[in-house]
Amino acid sequence: MIKSLDDLMQIKKQYSNLLALREHRSASGPRMNILVCGGTGCVSSDSDRVIKNLELILKARGFADDVKVIQTGCFGFCEQGPIVKIEPDNVFYVRVSPKDAKDIVDEHVAKGNKIERLLFEDPHKKERIYKQEDMDFYKKQVRVALRNCGVIDPENIYEALAAGAYEALGKVLTTMSRDEVIDIVKKSGLRGRGGGGFPTGLKWEITKKQEDEEKFIICNADEGDPGAFMDRSILEGNPHNVLEAMAIGGYAIGANKGIVYIRVEYPLAVSRLNTAIKQARDFGLLGKNIFGTDFSFDVTIKYGAGAFVCGEETSLINSCEGKRGEPNYKPPYPAEEGYWGHPTCVNNVETFANIPVIITKGPEWFASMGTEKSKGTKVFALAGKINNVGLVEVPMGITLREIIFDIGGGIPGGKGFKAVQTGGPSGGVLTQKELDTPIDYDSLLSVGSMMGSGGMIVMDEDDNMVNIAKFYLEFTMDEACGRCAAGRIGTKRMFEILEKITQGRATMADLDGLKQLAYLVKDSSLCGLCQTAPNPVISTMKHFWGEYLEFIKDIDHPQGEGKYIPKNKIGIKA
Amino acid sequence: MKSSKIEFPKELYDELGAFIDSLETTSGALIEILHRAQEIFGYLSRDVQLYIARKLGIPGAEVYGVVSFYSTFTTKPSGKHTISVCMGTACFVRGADKILEKFKERLGIESNETTEDGLFTIKDVRCIGACGLAPVVTVDGKVYGRVKEEDVDNIINEYRGKEANNIDKVLR
């Protein structure tokens, strides 16, 4: 049991050896750590069996005490998974299959030889690179929210404590007033990472001001944007970080109960979170009188059941109460009337993940990164037609070009870059023209997209943008909850027109109708889901009007045919 | 599919009842209870929904309202193997829609339907988050990454093969 900040620091010191090899310090104990990525992406490509084989062979060769195999969270380089990193040698192996375990033990562990074929090959220079920090994918990244993901074993609280977990909470509870905490968060300039970008400190302040015996703090882990997996990776890789932040937030706003609302589609994140909650309770880091103060705080988990709209905070709260996840009219905002009518603060996973480090390193440190109005870093899930699919964390203000061509390694197969969709089904496309726009909340809005939660889907010259818009509309139509007519009927009619267009049956009048309807749905829907649902259509119409025209039958096409058959027929049913 | 009514054994209802009784409070716990019920019964039949409604003292319509709202809950039994094609955006731009079409064509069913022999159910699922492996298909939780159209038959045959082996063993 940890009853004071001193207790915590003692445990940290006692177990600091666990991380010695990874921090390149000399220490007693094993001489080598083999880190194997245990994120969902790498587990999907058999990293579990890599671990099993490594352990079996190490045992057979008599290295069991000497070399420790550790399952970590996500390294981010999903395209090259499963990832294995050997410390203290600082060698990064990619696409390791269970069969490779033998060579890793017999060559690397036994003889110290690097295994050439498992090293990452730089696609431009055609050289093998063994250090993580020398890879273009990692060079421009700054890991703040993702810190310790891919470094520590997320299921071992001693490793988390050795890495400094719960120090910020201890500092907050024993030395700071609630207003001081809120002040620090405000000064840091942190804005909500779920997409809206509302200042976190302000949200906390508003909830704190409400007078009620009972308040709640909720972690929104209902990451529904298809192709985005930032929150999942944080929860899988460093769950204690989020729990610590929730407790800090609970203290600041005056809540003793926290809820994590998580998608049931994330089994690994759920299981690691459950483990972390249990461990934190056992150590007295959740529960009654934390750090010997009179502050008590505990966290429970509520499971989603597959509804995109539940990422919207009022829907989420309804779902937490066991009801249909339909949104409420705002105001009152959850900060005033939320879970069971009590003031409730809802923050996103990534937002929380930034909090402890803001406390320990100071708001000035955090605010030194980023742009004028968007501070810190942002995690993006880079996917689609891009060489380096993966999870990247970059300072706000970086350009799209740097993300796609430097970190992402460009477009596969020598194809041309066409567009990137940010903000998922709520966002819009950015094109060639925006490649050099610094990315932050406001610049993305000004070019007709949005930050969103951080999904970034890259499209190449072969992708037809009308089909992409239709794909997103089908998604939002499906996920629209049906509460308001604009959302329920509007998205359906928009989808029908898009289908008519892609089947070559539409006229110019349909295009006009679609445009009008898009703005109508945007202006008159009840909640964020359908207010933003038309964005992919509006944005593709703005940037790729020509592609819409190519489908239209009542205008003259250069081909001289009545109906133009587009080159790319993705999604078109005969 | 035949619409013959399947009666579940009493033990299963007892298991669900015991779970509900073990909860500190049932207020706000409906979704949690439905998750557990689906684990126990495999799907949420009308009878199961009514059992929950009576046990909680709420209208059956309220239970059905929640069941029909969330895509995780199903009111129909699934086939022995569930083929889930990821239709997240990353998989879509790498051709997941063609993979899904191929599965539908080969098995002669639509999404959320089950083959007549009760062997396969097809589902199109939202992102499972293995975008580096796109397009992704999972069968009963086993992940197949970077799937091509020509892999579809192999995947289906792999599971048909398993069934055939089982039948052989029984006959022998």
Q: What token pair was written down for A356?
A: 């402890």
CA distance, residue A231 to nearest chain B CA (Å): 11
Residue A444 near residue A418 (C-beta atoms within 8 A) = no
Residue A321 lies in a domain: yes
Residue A525 shares a structural domain with residue A552: yes
| Residue that finishes a domain, picked among A413, A440, A460 | A460
Q: What are the angstrom distances between the C-alpha of B117 and each of A308, A478, B141, B154?
A: 33, 29, 21, 19
CA distance, residue B63 to nearest chain A CA (Å): 9
Residue A525 near residue A484 (C-beta atoms within 8 A) = yes
A220-238 average pLDDT score? 93
| Domain residue limits at A437 | 377-460
Give tens-digit pLDDT for A72-107: 999 999 999 999 999 999 999 999 999 999 999 999
Residue A8 lies in a domain: no
Residue A20 lies in a domain: no
DSSP per-residue string spanning B130-151: -GGG-S-EEETTEEE-S--GGG
Residue A4 lies in a domain: no
Per-residue pLDDT, B169: 64
Size of interface A-B (CB pairs under 8 A): 129
Residue A186 shares a structural domain with residue A334: yes
User: Could you tell me which of A434, A481, A485 has the C-alpha nearest to residue A456?
Assistant: A434
DSSP per-residue string spanning A64-118: TTTEEEEEE---S-GGGPSPEEEETTTEEE-S--GGGHHHIIIIIIHH----GGG
CB contact under 8 A, A265 and B134: no
Give tens-digit pLDDT for B103-145: 999 999 999 999 999 999 999 888 887 888 999 999 998 899 9
Give tens-digit pLDDT for A488-525: 999 999 999 999 999 999 999 999 999 999 999 999 99
CB contact under 8 A, B87 and A226: yes
Q: What are the angstrom distances between the C-alpha of A56 and each of A14, A64, B58?
A: 29, 9, 54
pLDDT band of residue A573 (cuts 50, 70, 90) is very low
Residue A266 near residue A274 (C-beta atoms within 8 A) = no
CA distance A537 to A543: 10
CB contact under 8 A, B93 and A463: yes
Residue A269 near residue A235 (C-beta atoms within 8 A) = yes
CB contact under 8 A, B127 and A303: no
B42-64 average pLDDT score? 97
CB contact under 8 A, B65 and A324: yes
CB contact under 8 A, B127 and A481: no
Helix or strand run (H / E) with residue A419: strand A417-422
CA distance A438 to A370: 10
Residue A297 shares a structural domain with residue A345: yes
CA distance, residue A228 to nearest chain B CA (Å): 7
Residue A343 shares a structural domain with residue A278: yes
Distance separating the N- and C-terminal Cα atoms of chain A = 66
Per-residue pLDDT, B170: 60
Q: Where are the beta strands (DSSP E) in A162-279?
A: 216-221, 257-262
DSSP per-residue string spanning B79-99: -SEEEEEE-SHHHHHTTHHHH
Residue A122 lies in a domain: yes
Per-residue pLDDT, A562: 41
Residue A297 shares a structural domain with residue A316: yes
B48-65 average pLDDT score? 97
Residue A256 lies in a domain: yes
| Residue that finishes a domain, picked among A344, A367, A390 | A367
| Residue that finishes a domain, picked among A367, A400, A426 | A367
Residue A482 shares a structural domain with residue A451: no
The residue written with tokens 């083959």 in the block is B115
Q: What are the angstrom distances between the C-alpha of A446 and each of A437, A439, B35?
A: 10, 11, 42
B144 touches chain A (CB under 8 A): no
Which of A44, A310, A499 is the mutation pick for testing B, counting most B CBs within 10 A? A44
Q: What are the angstrom distances between the C-alpha of A123 and each of A77, A94, A135, A216, A412?
A: 15, 14, 11, 49, 11
Residue A451 shares a structural domain with residue A311: no
Kindly report the pTM of this predicted structure.
0.94
Phi-psi region at A69: left, alpha or beta (left = phi > 0; alpha = psi -120 to 50): beta
CB contact under 8 A, A384 and B71: no
Q: What are the angstrom distances between the C-alpha of A516 and each of A79, A160, A362, A528?
A: 41, 53, 48, 19
B132 touches chain A (CB under 8 A): yes
B72 touches chain A (CB under 8 A): yes
CATH number, residue A89: 3.40.30.10
Which of A323, A466, A468, A474 is the mutation pick for testing B, counting most B CBs within 10 A? A323
Structural domain count, chain A: 4
CATH number, residue A504: 1.20.1440.230
Is residue A565 pLDDT above 70, yes or no?
A: no
CATH number, residue A438: 3.10.20.600
Residue A114 shares a structural domain with residue A94: yes
B130: nearest CB among A41, A225, A385? A41
pLDDT band of residue A564 (cuts 50, 70, 90) is very low
Residue A409 shares a structural domain with residue A452: yes
Residue A475 lies in a domain: yes
Residue A386 shares a structural domain with residue A445: yes
B112 touches chain A (CB under 8 A): no
Residue A150 lies in a domain: no
Q: ipTM score here?
A: 0.90
CA distance, residue A481 to nearest chain B CA (Å): 8
CATH number, residue A191: 3.40.50.11540
- Mean per-residue pLDDT of chain B: 91
Residue A348 shares a structural domain with residue A439: no
Chain A residues in contact with B93 by the CB 8 A cut-off are 384-385, 457-459, 463, 468
Chain A residues in contact with B126 by the CB 8 A cut-off are 224, 226, 265, 306, 308
Residue A70 shares a structural domain with residue A99: yes
Per-residue pLDDT, A558: 56
Q: What token pair was written down for B33?
A: 């209870």
